[in-house]
Chains A and B, each alone.
Chain A
Amino acid sequence: MRYAVPTTLREAIDFLASGDARILAGGTDFYPALNDGPVTFDTLDISRLEDLRGISEAEGGWRIGATTTWTDLVRAPLPPCFDGLKASAREVGSIQIQNAGTVAGNLCNASPAADGVPPLLTLDASVEVTGAAGGRTLPLAAFITGVRKTALQPGELVTAVLVPSLPTVTRSAFRKLGARRYLVISIAMIAAVVVPGADGAVMDARVAVGSCSPVAQRLPALEQALVGAPFAAAALAARVRPEHLAPLSPIDDVRGTADYRAEAVAELVARTLTDCCAVEGP
């Protein structure tokens, strides 16, 4: 049983190449999954890969390094298109979880209720993966392939989450529905990004819903319906139709019934779009 704490990406990749190892970043999913037991397998602790920590503006977008915590994200000065993602960050567990857990780890854990996935889907985020053979970049929707499943191959680790730039007028919002105020796994979550045009009509809109399908889903039909709508709360909310929710497949579970989820999502999508309009301009 080996435990590696490399300080360079090369060492990390080499360690992964040398045999099966689980990757440990913030630990907030890693340890609960042990069910009280000790670590009994090879582990790659990537927390000392300093190059992977932090958020930087790169050409055409933003780079969220793989060991960037939710708290790092909340504290980073970022444009309003990240407001939704920041709002989701504040809803991730608790301060303790946000201080340790990473944005990239949330994607790798691939829970249907991962708080970070809907807002990152609306940001058209992609996932940078690095292995012995080099790097590749996948759209987030292609990275998470199912419940607790990702496209990550043996020998690879996520090195960054990439977010393309959006116009500064972009607005974003996030809502989480749960049975208690804090520390809650959501019944449903909604993220929205709306880009108003100079003419006051919506130029681009993205809406994603979590906890209502095995992997959080964008709602393309709704997004299309929103384009061209006046950038005003009532106008956006009025365009939400039940058929727009077709990509979702909510289930009955301990947190809520499928019927309730479907009904609540329709309401929450309208409210989240309203939130986007409520944010004051720059």
Chain B
Amino acid sequence: MTTVTFTLNGAEVRATTAPGARLSEVLRERLGARDVKVGCNAGDCGACTVLLEGEAVCACMVPAARVEGAAVETVAGMASLDGVASRLRASFQRHGAAQCGICTPGAMVSAVALLRADPDPDEAVVKDAMAGVLCRCTGYRKIIDAVLDVRSPATDPPQRANGRQVGAAILRVDGDAKISGTERFGDDVAPADALVVRLVRSPHHHASFALGDLDAFVAAHPGIAKVLTAADVPGRNCFGVIPNFADQPVFADETARFRGEPVAAIVGDADIVAALNLADFPVTWAPLPGVLTMDAAEDALAPALHPTRTGNVMCRGLVQRGDAEAALARADVVVEGAFETGFVEHAYIEPEAGFAVRTGDRVEIHACTQAPVMDRDTMAEIMGLDPDQVRIVPTAVGGGFGSKLDLSLQPYMALAAWRLNRPVRMAYTRTESIQSTTKRHPAQIRLRIGATRDGQISGFDFDSAFNTGAYASWGPTVANRVPVHASGPYHVADYRARSRGVHTHCAPSGAFRGFGVPQSAVAQEALFDELADALGMDRLAFRRRNALADGVPTVTGQVFDRGVGIGACLDALAPHWRRAREEAAAWNAAHEDVRLGVGIASGWYGCGNTSLPNPSTIKAGVRADGTVVLHQGAVDIGQGANTVIAQIFAEALGVAVDRLSLLGADTDITPDAGKTSASRQTFVTGNAARLAGETLRAKVLRLGNVSEAADIVFEDGAIRLLDGGEVRRVALSTLEADAEGYVLRAEETYDPPTKPLDANGQGSPYAVFGYAAHLVELEVDMALGLVRLVKIIAAHDVGKAINPVLVEGQVHGGIAQGVGMALMEEFIPGRTENLHDYLIPTFGDIPPIETLIVEVPDPHGPYGAKGLGEHVLIPTAPAIVNAIRDATGARIRRLPATPDRVRAAIVAAGR
């Protein structure tokens, strides 16, 4: 150990540390600088960017000894001291440049380094300077905008304004905390004396194993408190997000079914645990033949992953309507294709992290999660406790996108904390996060679509298999959702869509922004282009011709009288389509080496659970001092629920967002607002917030005996009511406070109306769909198969944009993930287990995005609003695939369309 003395944000600090320790660790663990985030420990993500003597470096790769006598700056110091940084902080807020916020400190530091050297950079310079920071939420464009706009004067935040809250570009209520580095994420909250857990994981895709003498191992390692295994699970060593399919052990028992599956947990002092060589751990592995692909898993001789699931098929889905075969037979044109997509990793920049602590006969789990109540109930089963004995306190979530719906490290921390009666913390490494958490399902899709000469779809036969990995997770949901959505937002009278989930010895596939729909849209939208071409129809006109409309049944026979917005989305793109097509044609007439292409694709997505109850509850109260408290249990994973739910509630109550005091999420203090999943929070929890706001408003108005039109002003200890020319003041001190200290309260629940699907998949699975269409302009370097995106125009029917800046943020971020899925992302078990082999888009890969907000109000949505988060990702990849074909003639049948695959497809197309 050595003592290093250096300057941190202008103040001299000393830390006692190993000289080779990472500066990031020293800053966070020894000096409490939790504004420095760790995303990869390998220089791939830039979350830990700090300035060392004024130069940006990744603190994860700087030895502690190197900073002796040096000046180190982090975002927390800059935000208060530095003029450039404080202007940038305001600009980040204005532009919505922070979503989840985990990359924001690194982005801010990188930008400050740039702006100090170059106060007026152009876009190319900004991208070069900031490319070392990966962001998974924003799609980068808002960050670029914020840096370029740093010199604009600050404006008064819109949340202070009275008047309409819904529809206003309210600044993210938790944005400034993220931008200034004070937000606390999963790895930022553990007490200093917490023990640490490290998991022993299977190095094999499939293996049986025997544990050796664990007591001897503990005895031989001072500082190790305990080793936990399957034998230590007091309740059920099995969990899963869908009760009937729960199949995943907390600890594998005798057999490991995927590489990275935990078999034991070592608990002890942080430094000791970190330094352990796991090769010394007493476990003997006997590798078994593994099946990694669906073809291998469905082979008659394949090993069965779960004995009751014959042929390794987990479950099947079906939607059929009319007679697809007959319609195909009478179609004038039929196109078909086989499509394949790979595993996609969520790659949020915050790896799973948190801590657990026992408080008497209860256990508290503070961790990043998308589903606190589901976590609570599942943890209770695992621990053999009542749900009341488990408290889930979600930290800020550094990106989720579906994977943080499932349990990850919660059971290990909680079991250790319970058994040892000590706080226990844990953070996955990037490799652990990629190896072991859920993925987007790889898909194999065969599709035939017919059309009659007049451009009407005539027959649609879709068959799909989804690689669900070793355990079910959300696989049944994917198998269920895909047949409902595979038609796209089109009227298909004669339809059959089948799906099956297939087990393999891979990491479990689960929920990832779209639950299988992005994969199916690739096949459907690519073939729509081929159909339109075969018919000699304009590709946009063909889609418009077949687009769903009010009163037209979906493939499940559901009819919406109002709110079907796909036609409006396509119409919004029409002028852009004509312009882009003309520009591309003019260029291509004179150029062969680099060809321009324009692609279009649609998407739709049902908001909320498929035909299942899906309630959210929102509670609010007024304290005697006039504070309005909103108990907001919808977890904000960066998408903006904290802001949007507050806006809706404020609108219904009739106050400005700034007047609200937000609590939660926390299972002890916030009612169940369901999971942050299925694009349901704005719609479902938003409705609960609207109802709660209305109820509270009604109580307030009654109290003053004023009319519906009255304005409400909460003051210190009173409510002032302005009704026409009349002013009334109601003193709150005269009212009796309840146990929670509220003199007025409201609690409301909303559950969307749905109907079950019958054996043919007919019914009303969702109360609301959202709609989207994207237009992609790109160029293809013909000799290299390199695709460069030029522009993306995204039309989204959101019903009502509760917050237009947050809408744009969701659109940009979803597009960036669609770009990754289309062009570069593929998780290969055992191979792409870090962020330099697993590629996600960087600052240089996302083109300018134009968002066209379309508002076709939904009768069920709060103020007409529909969900958005997942919708965005659906049209992007197919629009890219279609644009590549438009440019080159190449048919892309397998994603990602890496340069070698694009080049091969160009050659196959005879170019």
Contacts and interface: CB of A to CB of B under 8 A. Distances in A.
Interface of A: 3, 5, 24, 26-28, 30-32, 34-40, 43, 45, 47, 71, 90, 93-97, 99-100, 177, 179-185, 187, 254-257, 259-261, 263-264, 267-268
A179 B823 contact: yes
Given A30-B61, A100-B62, A38 B20 contact: yes
Nearest to A22: B20
Contacts of A34: 41
Contact of A254 (B65, B110, B132, B832): B832
12 contacts: A30-B61, A31-B43, A32-B43, A36-B430, A38-B21, A95-B128, A99-B55, A180-B842, A181-B127, A183-B131, A183-B836, A256-B898
Interface in B47-62: 49, 52, 55-58, 60-62
A23 to B, nearest CB: 12
Contacts of B514: none
Contacts of A5: 19, 65-66, 68
A260 B903 contact: yes
Most chain A C-beta atoms within 10 Å of own C-beta, residue among B43, B845, B899: B43
A184 B839 contact: yes
Most chain A C-beta atoms within 10 Å of own C-beta, residue among B19, B271, B429: B19
A96 B841 contact: no
B543 to A, nearest CB: 30
Contact of B43 (A96, A260, A263): A96
Nearest to A71: B55
A260 B823 CA distance: 16
Contact of A260 (B56, B271, B431, B904): B904
B134 to A, nearest CB: 8
B338 interface: no
A39 B21 contact: yes
Interface in B40-95: 41-44, 46, 49, 52, 55-58, 60-63, 65-66, 68
B65 A38 contact: no
Contacts of A96: 43, 46, 49, 56-58, 110, 132
Given A100-B58, A185-B836, A264 B65 contact: no
Interface stretch (B394-402, B744-752, B781-789): B781-789
A27 B44 contact: no
A260 B904 CA distance: 8
Nearest to A93: B43
Contacts of A36: 41, 429-431
Contacts of A27: 61-63, 66
Contacts, number: 162
A99 B56 contact: yes
Given A94-B46, A182-B843, A264 B903 contact: yes
Contacts of A187: 899-900
A38 B63 CA distance: 11
Closest 10 CB pairs of A and B: A94-B132, A181-B844, A39-B20, A260-B900, A182-B131, A32-B42, A3-B19, A182-B842, A31-B61, A256-B900
Interface in B820-854: 823-824, 826, 828, 831-832, 836-837, 839, 841-845
Given A177-B786, A260-B900, 20 more contacts: A27-B63, A28-B43, A31-B22, A34-B41, A36-B429, A38-B18, A47-B66, A90-B128, A94-B46, A95-B113, A96-B57, A96-B132, A100-B57, A100-B58, A179-B839, A182-B843, A255-B898, A256-B900, A264-B903, A267-B783
A interface, by DSSP: helix, strand, loop or mixed? loop
Given A37-B274, A183-B132, A177 B899 contact: yes
Contacts of B231: none
B739 interface: no
Contacts of A183: 44, 131-132, 134, 836, 842
Nearest to B131: A182
B65 A94 contact: no
B763 to A, nearest CB: 43
A95 B132 contact: yes
Contacts of A35: 429, 431
Contacts of A95: 56, 110, 113, 128-129, 131-132
Given A95-B132, A179-B898, A32 B41 contact: yes
A235 B22 CA distance: 52
B780 to A, nearest CB: 14
A187 B902 CA distance: 14
A263 B20 contact: no
Contacts of B66: 5, 27, 45, 47
Most chain B C-beta atoms within 10 Å of own C-beta, residue among A31, A47, A95: A95
Interface in B11-35: 18-22
Nearest to B427: A36
A3 B20 contact: yes
A182 B56 contact: no
A90 B132 CA distance: 12
B759 interface: no
Most chain B C-beta atoms within 10 Å of own C-beta, residue among A5, A31, A37: A31
Given A30-B61, A254-B831, A24 B20 contact: yes
Interface in B269-307: 271, 274-275
A53 B38 CA distance: 29
Given A31-B22, A254-B831, A267-B784, A40 B275 contact: yes
Given A96-B43, A179-B824, A264 B63 contact: no
B135 to A, nearest CB: 12
Contacts of B896: 179
Nearest to B38: A36
A200 B65 CA distance: 54
B880 to A, nearest CB: 14
Contacts of B429: 35-36
Interface string B893-911: 0001011100110000000
B898 A97 contact: no
A7 to B, nearest CB: 12
B833 to A, nearest CB: 10
Interface in B108-137: 110, 113, 127-129, 131-134
A260 B785 contact: yes
A113 to B, nearest CB: 10
B791 to A, nearest CB: 16
Contacts of B68: 5
Contacts of B21: 38-39
A26 B60 CA distance: 12
Contact of A24 (B41, B63, B271): B63
A97 B903 contact: no
Contacts of B60: 31
Contacts of B131: 94-95, 181-183
Nearest to B49: A96
B903 A263 contact: yes
Given A24-B63, A32-B41, A254-B837, A93 B132 contact: yes
Nearest to B109: A96
B831 A182 contact: no
Contacts of A181: 127, 131, 842-845
Interface string B459-503: 000000000000000000000000000000000000000000000
B377 to A, nearest CB: 32
Contacts of A26: 61
Nearest to B907: A263
Interface in B774-828: 783-786, 823-824, 826, 828
Contact of B65 (A3, A31, A93): A3
